[in-house]
C-alpha cells in the first residue's frame, strides 16, 4: 500500500522541479469525481446533472492538455545577475 501512495505522489510531481503540482492535484481530484459520478450512475442509479459532469470533464481535459504542453515547453532562463 505504501508503494501505491508513493506512485500516486510521483504522478502528481512536476517534471521540471520535482515538486507536487497543484494543477495535477486538481486534475487528479476531478478525475476521481468523474469516476465516482460514473460509478454512482451505473451501479447506484444516482443521477448526476449533465452540466456538472461536463464542467468537471472540461477541467480534466484542460488540465491534461496544459500538463502535456509543459512537457514540450522550454524552461525559462534563470534570473540574470545585474552585476555581470
Domain ranges of the chain: 10-63
Question: How many CA atoms does the CB half-sphere of 3 hold within 13 Å?
Answer: 0
Nearest to residue 49, comparing CAs of 60, 37, 61? Answer: 37
Q: Could you tell me where the beta strands, DSSP code E, fall in 1-84?
A: none
Name 5's Cβ contacts closer than 8 Å, sequence gap at least 6: none
- Give the predicted TM-score (pTM) of the model: 0.74
Of 63 and 72, the structure prediction assigns the larger pLDDT to 63
Angle, to 10 degrees, between the axis of helix 22-43 and the axis of helix 2-11? Answer: 120
* pLDDT value at 49 more than 70: yes
pLDDT band for position 2 (cuts 50, 70, 90): confident
Strand partners, 20: 13
Amino acid at each position: 500500500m505504501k508503494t501505491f501512495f508513493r506512485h500516486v505522489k510521483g504522478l502528481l510531481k512536476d517534471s521540471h522541479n520535482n515538486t507536487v503540482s497543484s494543477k495535477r492535484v486538481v486534475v487528479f481530484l476531478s478525475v476521481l469525481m468523474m469516476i465516482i459520478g460514473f460509478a454512482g450512475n451505473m451501479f447506484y442509479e444516482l443521477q448526476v446533472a449533465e452540466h456538472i459532469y461536463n464542467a468537471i470533464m472540461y477541467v480534466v481535459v484542460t488540465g491534461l492538455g496544459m500538463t502535456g504542453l509543459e512537457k514540450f515547453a522550454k524552461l525559462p532562463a534563470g534570473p540574470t545577475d545585474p552585476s555581470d
